[in-house]
Amino acid sequence: MDQVATLQLESVDLQSSRNNREHHTQEMGVKRLTVRRGQLFYLRLSFSRPFQSQSDHITFVAETGPKPSELLGTRATFFLTRVRPGNVWSASDFTIDSNSLHVSLFTPANAVIGHYILKIEISQGQGHSVTYPLGTFILLFNPWSPEDDVYLPSEILLQEYVMQDYGFVYKGHERFITSWPWNYGQFEEDIIDICFEILNKSLHYLKNPAKDCSQRNDVVYVCRVMSAMINSNDDNGVLQGNWSEDYSEGVSPLEWNGSVAILRQWSARGGQPVKYGQCWVFASVMCTVMRCLGVPTRVVSNFRSAHNVDRNLTIDTYYDRNAEMLSTQKRDKIWNFHVWNECWMIRKDLPPGYNGWQVLDPTPQQTSSGLFCCGPASVKAIREGDVHLAYDTPFVYAEVNADEVIWLLRDGQAQEILAHNTSSIGKEISTKMVGSDQHQSITSSYKYPEGSPEERAVFMKASRKMLGPQRASSPFLDLLESGGLRDEPAQLQLHLARTPEWGQDLQLLLRIRRVPDSTHPQGPIGLLVRFCAQALLHGGGPRKPLWRHTVRVNLDFGKETQRPLLLPYSNYRSKLTDEKLIRVSGIAEVEETGRSMLVLKDISLEPPHLSVEVSERAEVGKALRVHVTLTNTLMVALSSCTMVLEGSGLINGQITKDLGTLVAGHTLQIQLDLYPTKAGPRQLQVLISSNEVKEIKGYKDIFVTVAGAP
């Protein structure tokens, strides 16, 4: 009988174009094979002769990470079979076509994600085997697979939370929410490599690379590592935080348009942290990375967000009798807004009922298990006050539920409580609406309606768990259970008389109404109202007063009066912080009793408006004319103006232009051509910065058609 020639591999076709399309990774390009776990992909192997299944034995080997091991789940060996054997590595459903072998490969839905090397070992009978490299592939989480822990059973939501490569961050104030466009750019060609580079720079990897890689099958683990690595507090993480408002050694957090430039800079400089980030930058970069890895992710803004270091569920704020908000040495604070992420996953490490959206917060606020990371914390657990569940649930619970106690300070001592606000923290929690540029309130996902019996019951439940043995010595809880505070002889409200515009005088209206109270049920009262205006920092702390005013009022029982107030532009012109937020505080002293009442108004100022328009239909490879228009509505010139344009699929990297000075009241008009590189929905982000205003932002949603489409 003739000896059959040895089977030799001559070529391999990884069919990247077809596989990437079927695995929703074609946006990353088709030069490399990038697939998702728990889903078949296809290869064609070409041999020196026809494959004979009876005598030719093929073993596939897939390896990832250093020191691949079957025990650790970083190495898999599997044979060619007719039928796929379930949720395990397999090569099946093969067909023979002349000298070619078409085969379907399957990766289990709980496989380790990462860069893989794929090989085959060929042997005949009992003879020696020869190993051939087939190539490399990248394996990602698969939210399309019902077997994967990140499975999201809605194509509309998958398009939004995995495939959408742009979005918005919501900033400002709960009554005046501003939307900032952001280029996530998770499918830019090098971003997937940078994502794994980040994982490979983590302290977990540096300590034990093989063990770290073996845990990358677990989305909870990967999210937690990424949460620590986006900030640089413990490691060579991506971003260095800076809340000082001095950004001379780097880029102001206000001047980033997207994540791609940040991630590329971090990688190009060998993992040196990029300067600088604040919460919305940390969260937006985290969103890019997690969407790139295949985890459904969104960016969430919590307006008036508590940072409760001592976990007593109260944040104390102090004013003096002249209505000046006082700085405090305490680490507790109320951020004007704080931005974090939610990632979608099954929580097998928790009891049933806590799957779905999980909070992850890469901003370095406090340590968790020794590292600056936060989460994943189940949104359902936060709503139900189940603060004993992992990870960092008490911290996130306090961010949205802590109570604010406002004190009047006299001679350095807290004299009286001006207000005890049970609903001022977590006032509004917003994210981008699916399929829309608008924001959507998700406050009800985090808590029951403020003041409802369910909300207070959950608060008491969480309080007892968090305060523990201190319960008996907590005057705060006693106050809460007793129903609280005294009544007041008058009601004070501050209103804006007209929409506040940056560069204009601010007009307010004080309304006072006399109401009955226990000490003064009838008769007139005299009020001395002292006002103070201060610019607020992002962390909620105040700058020095920029305006003071005093009003004296006599008010008969049952009567109402109002007084206009004017805060001139000249008072705040050079005093604003990055936030562009002014707090006007008033303390009314009742002349008959010496008691005090507080009235507050936060005013958020918008920068000038930027218009972005395109003049024709966008097509891949064809010039697209863009028109950018800016009118300087301020009373001063904008000097050293610079424009930066960014947009995945529209621009490779960034386009930067120096624009010079824009005189007050004048309009700047710029035209330029772009050459789109990818079809589908895209977003162009435009930033104009100057010495006077760092962040004038605009955007344009653009649908790009394929080249030559009718």
Which residues are documented as binding site?
Answer: 401, 403, 450, 455
CB atoms within 10 A of CB 569: 15
Contacts of 582 (CB under 8 A, 6+ apart): 506, 533, 534, 535, 536, 546, 567, 572, 576, 602, 603, 605
Question: Residue 68 is encoded by which pair of tokens?
Answer: 């691949």
Residue 476: the pLDDT is 53
CA gyration radius, the chain: 30
Residue 473: the pLDDT is 44
Q: Cβ distance 314 to 330 under 8 Å?
A: no
State whether the Cα torsion 533-536-541-543 is positive or negative.
negative
Residue 353: the pLDDT is 97
262: helix, strand or coil: helix
Query: How far is C-alpha 55 from the geometric centre of its chain's CA atoms?
Result: 56
The number of C-alpha atoms within 13 Å of 131 and in the hemisphere containing its C-beta is 9
Residue 64: the pLDDT is 98
Chosen CATH of 610-704 out of 2.60.40.10, 3.40.50.150, 3.30.450.20, 3.40.630.30: 2.60.40.10
Residue 444: the pLDDT is 98
Q: Which residues pair with 638 in a beta bridge?
A: 662
pLDDT band at 469 (very low <50, low <70, confident <90, very high): low
Q: Above 80 in pLDDT, residue 244?
A: yes
* Same-fold call for 9-140 versus 166-467: no
Residue 202: the pLDDT is 97
DSSP string of 345-358, one letter each residue: E--TTS-TT--EEE
> Which residue in the list 279, 287, 343, 374 is annotated as catalytic?
279
Question: Residue 303 is encoded by which pair of tokens?
Answer: 């307006």
pLDDT band at 708 (very low <50, low <70, confident <90, very high): confident
> pLDDT (tens digit, 9 = 90+) per residue, 318-331?
999 999 999 987 88
Measured in degrees and rounded to the nearest 5, phi and psi for residue 267 equal -70, -45
Residue 201: the pLDDT is 97
Q: Above 90 in pLDDT, residue 456?
A: no
> Which residue in the list 204, 338, 520, 549 is annotated as catalytic?
338
**Window from 126-130, 194-198, 450-454, 676-680 with minimum mean pLDDT:** 126-130
CATH fold of the domain at 166-467: Coagulation Factor XIII; Chain A, domain 2 (3.90.260)
> pLDDT (tens digit, 9 = 90+) per residue, 534-589?
999 999 999 999 999 999 999 988 899 999 999 999 999 889 999 899 999 999 99
Cα three-residue angle 636-641-644, rounded to 5 degrees:
140
CB atoms within 10 A of CB 663: 12
Q: What is the CATH number of domain 490-604?
A: 2.60.40.10
Nearest Cα residue to 306 out of 416, 372, 382, 386: 382
How do strand 490-496 and strand 506-514 relate by DSSP bridges? antiparallel
Q: What is the mean pLDDT of residues 641-651?
A: 97
Q: Above 80 in pLDDT, residue 46?
A: yes
Q: Above 60 in pLDDT, residue 480?
A: no
**Window from 170-184, 363-377, 594-608 with minimum mean pLDDT:** 363-377
Q: What is the mean pLDDT of residues 402-424?
A: 91
pLDDT band at 409 (very low <50, low <70, confident <90, very high): very high
Contacts of 529 (CB under 8 A, 6+ apart): 492, 510, 512, 550, 551, 552, 553, 586, 587, 588, 589, 599
Taking each helix axis from N to C end, the angle separating 191-200 and 279-293, rounded to the nearest 10 degrees, works out to: 110
> pLDDT (tens digit, 9 = 90+) per residue, 248-293?
999 999 999 999 999 999 999 999 999 999 999 999 999 999 999 9
Q: Give the CA distances from residue 469 to residues 40, 309, 466, 480, in Å, rounded to whole numbers and listed in that order.
A: 55, 18, 9, 18
Residue 483: the pLDDT is 45
Range ranked top by mean pLDDT from 232-241, 334-343, 467-476, 481-490: 334-343
Q: Above 60 in pLDDT, residue 482?
A: no
Q: Above 90 in pLDDT, residue 369?
A: no
Hunting for tokens 């590595």 — which residue is that? 89
> pLDDT (tens digit, 9 = 90+) per residue, 5-36?
899 999 999 999 999 999 999 999 999 999 99
Whole-angstrom Cα distance, residue 263 to residue 153?
Answer: 30
> pLDDT (tens digit, 9 = 90+) per residue, 164-184?
999 999 999 898 899 999 999
DSSP 396: H
CATH fold of the domain at 9-140: Immunoglobulin-like (2.60.40)
Q: Is 213 a catalytic residue?
A: no
Whole-angstrom Cα distance, residue 482 to residue 464?
Answer: 16
Residue 354: the pLDDT is 98
State whether the Cα torsion 290-292-294-297 is positive or negative.
positive
Measured in degrees and rounded to the nearest 5, phi and psi for residue 644 equal -125, 125
Which residues are documented as binding site for Ca(2+)?
Answer: 401, 403, 450, 455
Q: What's the maximum distance between 2 C-alpha atoms anywhere in the chain?
A: 121
Q: Above 50 in pLDDT, residue 484?
A: no
> Which residue in the list 361, 386, 392, 602 is annotated as catalytic?
361
Whole-angstrom Cα distance, residue 301 to residue 172?
Answer: 10
> pLDDT (tens digit, 9 = 90+) per residue, 687-707?
999 998 888 999 999 999 998
Q: Above 70 in pLDDT, residue 486?
A: no
Q: Please give the mean pLDDT across all residues of the chain.
A: 93
Hunting for tokens 């863009």 — which residue is that? 626
Domain ranges (residues) in the chain: 9-140, 166-467, 490-604, 610-704
Residue 472: the pLDDT is 35
Q: Above 70 in pLDDT, residue 520?
A: no
Q: Is 338 a catalytic residue?
A: yes
Q: Which helix (H) or strand (E) covers residue 38, if one does?
A: none
Q: What is the mean pLDDT of residues 211-232?
A: 97
Break the chain down into helix, strand, coil percent, rounded to 5.
20, 40, 40
Whole-angstrom Cα distance, residue 336 to residue 325?
Answer: 15
CB atoms within 10 A of CB 621: 11
Question: Residue 260 is encoded by which pair of tokens?
Answer: 């791609």
Question: Residue 389 is encoded by which pair of tokens?
Answer: 């569940």
Percent of the chain with pLDDT over 70: 96
Q: Cβ distance 196 to 296 under 8 Å?
A: no
Query: How far is C-alpha 1 from the geometric centre of its chain's CA atoms?
Result: 69
Whole-angstrom Cα distance, residue 538 to residue 334?
Answer: 9
